[in-house]
Amino acid sequence: MQLRQRIEEVIKMQASVQRCTASVDFLENEKPFFPPTVNNEQFHEHFKIVAGGLLGTDRVNDMPPLMESKNFAFYQELIPGYFFFIGMQNKTHKQLQSPHSHLFEINEDVLPHGAVLYASLAAKYLVEFLPDVPLPDGKHHDEL
């Protein structure tokens, strides 16, 4: 994998600048290496349109790349996907704690917005990208 090679190369070269040596162990036997979470470009455009229309384009921000590992990346190895964050800023707190911290407090006011956003993304996707799905002959029963 190119990323692993580049990480090892940078670390070894930085060590050599200080007249040291370095070795890199990705602990592949102890922990699996997570692939990068890379969003599908078509889904990114879909997200911006739907979220911008729903929440306002001024409230939809492009995020810089993050150095995080997400299990979602394993799904994206098989099918295109889109990973996004729903803003949880709470003006009463100075700093939002990590969700992995015992100090984390969820801003429940965001939950309805997130639910509507997810439902809207799915509904608009089905209408726009899957209009030609053939229905089987015979009676149809709509579960909804």
Say if residue 112's pLDDT is above 60: yes
Q: What is the CA radius of gyration of the chain?
A: 22
> Are the C-beta atoms of residues 117 and 86 closer than 8 Å to each other?
yes
Domain range list for the chain: 38-129
Say if residue 132's pLDDT is above 70: no
**What is the reported pLDDT for 109?**
86
Which tokens hold the place of 104?
């984390």
* Percent of the chain at pLDDT exceeding 90: 40
Q: DSSP string covering 19-58, please?
A: T--------TTTSPPPPP----HHHHHHHHHHHHHHH-GG
Say if residue 144's pLDDT is above 60: no
Distance CA 39, CA 107 (A): 26
**What is the reported pLDDT for 118?**
95
Q: Which residue has the higher pLDDT, 4 or 131?
A: 4
Distance CA 21, CA 89 (A): 44
Report for 71-80, 110-119, 129-138: range of highest mean pLDDT: 110-119
Give the range among 73-87, 111-125, 130-144 with minimum mean pLDDT: 130-144
Q: Mean pLDDT score of the chain, rounded to an integer?
A: 84
> Are the C-beta atoms of residues 48 and 61 closer than 8 Å to each other?
no
Burial class of 51 by CB neighbour count within 10 A (0 to 12, 13 to 18, 19+): buried
How do residues 16-53 score in pLDDT, each as one tens digit? Answer: 999 999 999 888 777 667 788 889 999 999 999 999 99
How do residues 46-86 score in pLDDT, each as one tens digit? Answer: 999 999 999 999 989 888 887 777 888 888 888 889 999 88
> Are the C-beta atoms of residues 79 and 43 closer than 8 Å to each other?
no
